[in-house]
Chain A
Amino acid sequence: MSSAMINRNLVAQVNQDSGLLTSAMTVVHRFDERGEYKGVLYDRRGVAVGEFSVSVGGGEQEKSEKHDEGGHMRRALPMSVEVDLTSLHPTAASQASPTSGREECECEDRGAAGGAIKVASGGYAVFKVPAGAAGGYAVELYKSAESGRGERVFDSRALDRSDLLAVVLLRPGTYSVTNSNNETKAELTVTYPEKPLGLMEPVKVTCGSAIRPDVIRVRPTQGLVFSFETPSRVKIVLVTPEDRARPVARKAPPGRVSLQGAAKHSRRLQLWPRRSPPAKAQLTQP
C-alpha cells in the first residue's frame, strides 16, 4: 500500500482567516513602485518569526531579455514570485525553497535563502503556505528607508486595492464570510461533492463597503478570488457543515461484460521452451 502521507491540514483546516494564512489561502500583492522592501512574517500568536527582503526593479522594459557587458544573456526579472511562508519561518518544518518563479527559472539569488526576493516593477509577490504545513501566518511589507522600515505597503490582515486573495475550500457546508475590518458579511455555501467536478471558473468576490455578492455558492475545490476596495481581513467560518451518511459498503460497479460472445477469450499460444531439455549432456542419475 502507499507510503504517501495525507496532507491532513487540507482537510482539518476548515475555517480560514487572511490574517492567519493557511494552505487554503493565497495572498497576492502587486508592487507598483520600484525599490527595496522589507517583509515581516508573524505566526499565529502575532509574534514576528521571520524577515525577508524584496527588490522591485526594472519594469516593463526588463521583461525582455538583456545582455550584460560581457555579451552574456541575462534573464529578466519575473512578473511574479511565489513566497513559501514556511521557508521564512526558521522553525517551520517545510523544506521548500522560499521562493519559486512561475517559470522555475535558474534565478540568480531569487531563490536563495537570505537573499532578496526580486520581482519586476508591476509584478506580484504570491504568499502561500504549502499543503503539508499548518500555516497560520500574517505578512507585512515595508518600503525600505535609509534607517529601518519605512512606510507599510502591505498587511495580510488589511488587504487593499493592490492585493488579491485566492481561497479554495473543500469542506461542504454553509460558511459565514466576514470582513472583520468593517464587519460586512456574506453567506457562502460549499456544495457536497456528488459528481465529477470537472473544470470550474473561480468565483469573484469584492470586499468594499459590502461584500459582493453577499450570497456565494461554490463547489468544493472551486476557487474564490477576493479583490478589495477597502482594507479588509477576510474570515471564513463554517456555520453548518453538510455531512452525508457513510455507505454501509461501497459497491463495486457491475462487472464489465466482455465485448465478445461465448468462448470469447479463446487464444492459442505456441511456445518454445527457453530451457532446452537435456539432449546431449546431463548429469547422470543411477
Chain B
Amino acid sequence: MTFTSNCDFYVAIQDAGINRAVRHVMKQRPSLFNYGTALLVEEPRLLCSPVDVDPRVTAADNPMVTVLPPLPVLMSPYRMNYAVQLADFGQVDFAPSNVITLPSALNPPLPDQRLAVHLQVCGGLGCPGSEETPGVAPIDEQGVTVLPTQQLDCFCLDLFATAGCGIHTGSTGNQTIRPTVDGIFIGGLQPAGLEESIVCYAKTALDSGFLPLVGQIVSPIAFGLLTIPQTTTGNIQVSGDIQVSASTTVPNNPAIQDDQLEAFIDLDKIDLNITTGGGIGGPGSSGGTVTRTTRPRTRTGTFDLTAAVSADAFTKIFGAFMKGFRFNESGSGSYGPFSVSYDVAAHLEAGSIKLLNTGGIELRDLVIKWDTLSLTFGVTLPNVCTPGFCLVPNPFDGCAVYISPKCVWSTPPTISFTIDLGGLLDSKVTVTGNPKVFYGVGSGVTNRWQIAVEPVLPILIDIIDLADAASSLFQTLITNAIDSLISGLPQWAQDLINAILGSIDDIITTVLGIPDDIVEWLMDVISNLGIYQDLADALAQYISITIFEVDDPFLVLPPQGALIPVMLPIDYLGISVNSNEMVVQGDMGD
C-alpha cells in the first residue's frame, strides 16, 4: 500500500492513539477536566466521579479541581457549593465505528468519513442539611455565606456527537480545516424540550465558536509556512521553511476512514539554510550526551501515528539538503620530490536521489563541483654546475687532480608554483545511506527518538577526467617558476642555465621524474594527498545528520506555575523505505 500516491505527505492518526493521549492529559492535568468550589479542592472525596491522577500530580501537590465561585442562591445572601466534571472523555471513534455504540437518535451506524465522540459529564450541587438551612446559618461580614454541605447531589449525563471535517480551499498557505458537528445527543435528559435546548446550545457553540477556533489554530500548522527549527548534528546546522498545502487530488481531505484521521498534503516550496562549522556542542547545544540504542515494537496492529513522504517530495527535500553540502579542506603532503600543499573547496550539484526498495537512499552521480582545487608544488631543482673533469689522471687511482664543478647557486634552488585544477577536474560521487531509528538514552538530557541516515560503505567517487589543459597549465607554471628563479641574470646566463637544465620536457621527465602523462600524474597527486578521502569523510558525516528527533516523553503542555508538565510517552518509532515513499510509524505509550 502506498500512502502518498496522490500527495507528497501523508499523516494519519488512529482513534485509539487519540484516546490514549487524552487519558494521559486527564491524569496529568486533572484540573482541566474538573471544576468546582473551593470546598471540592479541600474535600475531593465529595466529587461526583472519582479522579484518576498520575502519581506525579499527587507528589507535586497539584490541585485536581479548578476553583470556581460558588453558585448564588437567588434573592438571598447565600451561595452553594457545586462541581462540574468531564468525568470520562470517553472515546473518539473514526469511521468505521467500532468503539462507540451510537444512540438511535444519531442514526447509527456512523456514516463514512465521520467521527463520533462520547463524553460523560457529571455535576453535583451541595445541598445544605437541616442544620445549615438558610436563615439559620450565620452570615459573614461581607454579607455572603456559602452554605456548608456533607455531600453533593450528583448526576451524570452521556453526550454523544457525530462530526465531519473538511478543508476550505483558499490560496496557498491560507487553507483552513473546518470541523463541523452533525448531531449531538444527550441521554437521560427530560423533558425533551430541555434536552433539545441544551443540544441546540451546545451545537451552536461548537459550530460557531469552538470548532472554527480549532480550525484557525490547526490550519496554519498544517498548511502554512512551516519554519524548521534549527537542528544541529556534528558541525552542521539546518534550518529553513517548508510551504505545504492540502492535496486536491483525493476525494476526501482530511479523510476519516480505517479508524484513522488522514491528511494528504502537497509540498509547494522548500528553503533550507545549511551551515557548517561551529563543531559539536555549538549554539543551542544542551551539553548532555545521548547513547543510541534500538528498541523493538511491543504493540501489534495499526500504528497510532503514520506519516509518509513521497519519493518525489523526499527528493526535493534531500536535494535541497545536499545542495547545502560544502567541503573545505587544506593540508600538505609530499609526492615524489615535491612538497605539495592544497586548498580545496567543493560542493555537489545535479545527480539523482532515489529511495530504494532495499530500504536505502541512493545519491547517484552527484557532480562534485570543485570551487577551488589549488595545489601548491614546491620542488628542489638540481644545482646548475659546470661539469667537473679530470685534469691529471692517475693510473693507480683513477684521477690525481680533479677540477670540481662550480655551481650557480649556493645550494640547490627551490621553486614553487600553484595550480588550480578546480575547473578542470570532472568527478562524481555516489553514496547510499540507510535511514534508521534510534532510541537515544540521554545522560543529562531527556531520552529521545532519533531518525538518522547511516551511510552504506564504501562511498564511490568516480573520477571522470582531468582536462588536458591541466598538463599545459602545469608546464607553463613550471616554466614561469624557473624563469622567475633566473630572471635576475643576464640573458646569456639564463640561456646557459636553460641549456644545462635542458628543455622543460626534460626537466619534467628527467629532473622531476614526472611520467609522460602529466594529467595522470596530477590525479595521482590528488589521490595521494588524501583529498578524495577527506571528501568522503566529510560527505559521510554530512549525510549522517539526525533528520528527526523527538523527546520521549514528548511535551504536550508546559508546566504552568506549580502544575507539572503534561508529557506523552512515545512507545515506538519505526521507519521503512521503498521506492515510492519513506514511512515513519509510531505508537503512543500507555
A: residues with CB less than 8 A from B are: 1-7, 10-11, 23-24, 26, 28, 63, 79-80, 82, 102, 123-124, 126, 128, 131-132, 164, 166, 168, 170-172, 192-197, 199-202, 220-221, 223, 225, 241-246, 250-260, 263-286
Contacts and interface: CB of A to CB of B under 8 A. Distances in A.
Given A124-B392, A168-B403, A195-B499, A277 B541 contact: yes
A250 B486 CA distance: 13
A160 B516 CA distance: 54
Nearest to B479: A252
A259 B516 contact: yes
Contacts of B171: none
Interface in B369-419: 383, 386-387, 389, 391-392, 394, 396-397, 399-404, 406-416
B483 to A, nearest CB: 5
A128 B404 contact: yes
Interface of B: 231-234, 280-281, 284-292, 383, 386-387, 389, 391-392, 394, 396-397, 399-404, 406-416, 440, 442, 445, 448, 452, 454-455, 457-466, 468-469, 471-473, 475-476, 478-481, 483-485, 488-493, 495-496, 498-500, 502-506, 516-520, 523, 527, 532-533, 536-537, 539-541, 543-544, 546, 549
Nearest to A221: B386
29 contacts: A1-B414, A4-B410, A4-B414, A6-B410, A7-B408, A126-B401, A166-B403, A170-B496, A171-B492, A194-B495, A241-B492, A250-B479, A251-B479, A258-B471, A258-B517, A265-B464, A265-B520, A266-B464, A269-B460, A269-B532, A272-B457, A273-B455, A275-B540, A278-B233, A281-B291, A283-B287, A283-B288, A284-B287, A285-B546
Nearest to A168: B386
B509 to A, nearest CB: 9
Given A166-B403, A282-B280, A242 B492 contact: yes
A262 to B, nearest CB: 8
A89 to B, nearest CB: 19
Contacts of B280: 282-283
Interface centre among A201, A257, A263 (most CB of B within 10 A): A257
A14 to B, nearest CB: 10
Contacts of B483: 250
B543 to A, nearest CB: 8
B541 A11 contact: no
Nearest to A269: B461
A63 B83 CA distance: 128
Given A6-B489, A223-B389, A256-B505, A286 B284 contact: yes
B286 A5 contact: no
B234 A278 contact: yes
Nearest to B417: A1
Secondary structure call for the A interface? loop
Secondary structure call for the B interface? mixed
B392 A273 contact: no
B410 A281 contact: no
Contacts of B392: 28, 80, 124, 164
Nearest to A9: B406
Contacts of A223: 387, 389, 403
Contacts of B396: 63
A7 B471 contact: no
> Top 4 A-B pairs ranked by shortest CB distance?
A255-B472, A277-B544, A271-B536, A2-B413
B391 A28 contact: yes
A9 to B, nearest CB: 10
Nearest to B505: A253
A221 B492 contact: no
Nearest to B470: A255
A255 B475 contact: yes
Contacts of A79: 394, 397, 400
A124 to B, nearest CB: 5
Nearest to B482: A250
A193 B233 contact: no
B176 to A, nearest CB: 31
Contacts of B471: 255-258
B417 to A, nearest CB: 9
Contact of B517 (A11, A126, A164, A256): A256
A245 B455 CA distance: 63
A193 B409 contact: no
B399 A252 contact: no
A273 B537 contact: yes
Nearest to A241: B492
Nearest to B233: A285
A92 to B, nearest CB: 16
A275 B280 CA distance: 14
Nearest to A129: B406
Contacts of A124: 392, 400-401
A283 B473 CA distance: 46
A7 B544 contact: no
